[in-house]
Amino acid sequence: MPAQPPAPRRRRDPERRIAEITEATLRVIAERGIEGLTHRAVADTAGVPLGATTYHFATKDDLIQAALTLAYDRYAAMLTEWVAQRPGLTPDQLAVLLADAMLHAYGPDRAYETVELELYLAALRRPALRPIADRYTEVTTEALLSYVDPLTAQAAVAALNGLTLRGLAGTRPPTRTELEGILRRILTPNPALSV
């Protein structure tokens, strides 16, 4: 009786493994913050050997960079879809919809927004992350350019960043009335200032 050929070895899919580790990194940051991020915690969350995380991501900063890139890619895709579904908004309509988004960030999307903000703020101490942080500002500004002029878009992005930080880190997030008031002030052109 001839010997049975050995069962084919299951090929590892490095891209899938990297994606699993990156997703797990986001989950660990959501649960423990960046300070609680370790290769071991990521490996446990991803259900992979510790060596797999260190093989694909040599340092904690490599894990953070991969997570920030993934978060950015998701954010950019969401913004592109958001703008495509809302052509031709007036400044007032835009203020209301942006306030809706901010309130959602303080409530149902709080965990996701907290992770995104933590990763964004990690660029303060990690210069390698700054180009990705810049991309957040650029893509948000680009989305707002569908509705307002460049300077207004830049002012709105700065306000949204501040409002996000205030709403997530403070004891009392801004109310709908406050959000809409601030955003209307920024988004509505002042004819007295026209050049």
47-85 pLDDT tens trace? 999 999 999 999 999 999 999 999 999 999 999 999 999
Structure confidence at residue 3 (pLDDT): 63
Mean pLDDT by 10 residues, the chain (195 residues): 57 87 95 94 96 96 94 95 95 96 94 89 92 95 96 96 95 97 90 57
User: pTM to 2 decimals?
Assistant: 0.85
Instruction: Return the C-alpha torsion angle 23, 29, 30, 36, nearest 10.
Output: 140
CA–CA–CA angle 77, 81, 83 (5° rounding): 120
Q: CA 115, CA 192: separation in Å to the nearest integer? A: 41
Structure confidence at residue 8 (pLDDT): 52
Q: In 10 A of CB 140, how many CB atoms?
A: 19
